[in-house]
Structure 1
Amino acid sequence: MRPFYCLTFICLSFAAAAQGVDPAITERPPSAAQLPGVDAPPGPAPRPTPPAARPSPAPSAESSSPLPDKDPASRVERLDALFADLKRASTSATADRTVDKIQAEWAASGSATADLMLIWAGEAVTDKRNGAAFDFLDQAILMKPDFAEAWNRRATLNYIASDYGKSLADIERTLQLEPRHFGALMGLGAILEATDRKAQALEAYVRVLEIYPTLKGAQDAVGRLSEELAGQRI
């Protein structure tokens, strides 16, 4: 599944996250620019039981280097390679596969608990329990302040609640942490359009296309706003 490009993309993000895929708002997707990026059972949400402590293995030549998934540098390299692939994608189907991988990277904070909070938030949104979703995302951000996707999801919830001020603040923080977050940029564009700042919205959507050229929602927005702004200048 694929989900902060337009409001629809944003909402679909949560649904995708609940299935293990990281989402940002409809078709896919500061200081600001374009729009876009689970259900806890009744009663207190269950918390995962930590595994029993195990002694660390003795260091060896093979184990002295960090594991790829835990190495921040390798994650940056993976994302850089994926974004390069996304920019080169010639079809939406090829781009979609790359976007799924990018969103999966974004959904992994490095903290199992924060990741679980993100999943629960997605499930809560699916069940229309947005208050609970806010609580889960607040906790994820408190635990991992550099978790860009948690900020992005909360920006989406604030957008749904029509609290554009808070949504813009969360989008700004998302873009500080991940400037290539096309979902957050789509959300930004949507808010700027909704508040009649069309020239700035156009800039946001153009930024999305620089990152994700095949995103139809951004293509349509750029075409529409370009025509509207050109008509105003005549």
Structure 2
Amino acid sequence: MRIRFAFFAALFLFGSAVPPAQAEDTVAPPIATTREARLDQLFVDLKRERNEKAAERIAARISNEWVQSGSASIDLMMQWSQKAVEEKKFDVALDFLDQVVTLQPAYAEGWNRRATVHFMMNNFGKSMADIDRTLQLEPRHFGALSGLAQIMAVTGHKESALEAWQRVLSIYPMLRSAQDQVGTLSEELAGEGI
């Protein structure tokens, strides 16, 4: 009885007793192990997904990948900056984010967060510069593109805002706010052309 139990336990833990040559044909494709590979697959999934809630979950997973800096110090400064933003202490948040982008200039989310704080402070020029750097590092950053679209709209550049929202939708087709903005701006621009 113990031998039979041990056999079934081993079978459960280690898979079927298919010989290795046959097992290769039945093995699922490898799971993306690098951050870039995971992001690439998530973006493919995001573009294909037609359910809004499922797309939101995929977008949240992408955001979770973006926020991982690989440095405990950077992650801590990002947390402190977020707390400062929540307390409306934008200058304090900028101090932390300045350190983040100085210490880890290839970390796109640091630039994106700093762009967001500049936007909240109506520093649109500085926000645009940080958005540009974010998009150089991660061209698929739909959050940065959304920020760009908002700045273009606020500053009266409706055509540029529409183009930015359309770029967002090419990456994240089910983003409801982008869909709404494309519809609204398209109608406004069509009305102005009459």
For the aligned pair, the TM-score class normalised by the smaller chain equals 0.7 to 0.9
Quick check: which one's helix share is greater? 2
Gaps of 5+ in 1: 1-70
Q: How many residues are treated as equivalent by the alignment?
A: 163
Aligned ranges for residues 154-173 of structure 1 at < 5 Å?
Answer: 154-173=114-133
Report SS of the residue matched to 1:109: coil
Structure 1 contact 124–130 (Cα < 8 Å) conserved: yes
2:75 is equivalent to residue 110 of structure 1: no
2:171 is equivalent to residue 207 of structure 1: no
TM-score (norm 1): 0.68
Equivalent position to 1:176, from 119, 132, 136? 136
Alpha-carbon offset, residue 147 of structure 1: 0.8
Structure 2 contact 43–171 (Cα < 8 Å) conserved: yes
Structure 1 contact 209–215 (Cα < 8 Å) conserved: yes
CA RMSD of aligned residues (A): 1.3
Q: Deviations over 1:1-49 (max 9, x none)?
A: xxxxxxxxxxxxxxxxxxxxxxxxxxxxxxxxxxxxxxxxxxxxxxxxx
Match in the other structure for 1:196: 156
Measure, in 2, the Cα distance between the counterparts of 1:96 and 1:227.
Answer: 26
2:179 is equivalent to residue 219 of structure 1: yes
RCO higher in 1 or 2 (8 Å CA, sep ≥ 6)?
1
Match in the other structure for 1:128: 88
Measure, in 2, the Cα distance between the counterparts of 1:131 and 1:231.
Answer: 41
Measure, in 1, the Cα distance between the counterparts of 2:57 and 2:193.
Answer: 40
Report SS of the residue matched to 1:171: helix
Measure, in 2, the Cα distance between the counterparts of 1:112 and 1:146.
Answer: 16
Percent identity of the aligned residues?
Answer: 55
The structure with the larger Rg is 2
TM-score (norm 2): 0.81
Alpha-carbon offset, residue 96 of structure 1: 1.3
Q: Deviations over 1:107-128 (max 9, x none)?
A: 0112221111111111111122
Alpha-carbon offset, residue 206 of structure 1: 0.2
Equivalent position to 1:146, from 106, 111, 128? 106
Range moving further from structure 2, 169-178 or 88-97? 88-97
2:127 is equivalent to residue 137 of structure 1: no
Gaps of 5+ in 2: 1-31
Measure, in 1, the Cα distance between the counterparts of 2:79 and 2:46.
Answer: 25
2:30 is equivalent to residue 76 of structure 1: no
Structure 1 contact 205–218 (Cα < 8 Å) conserved: yes
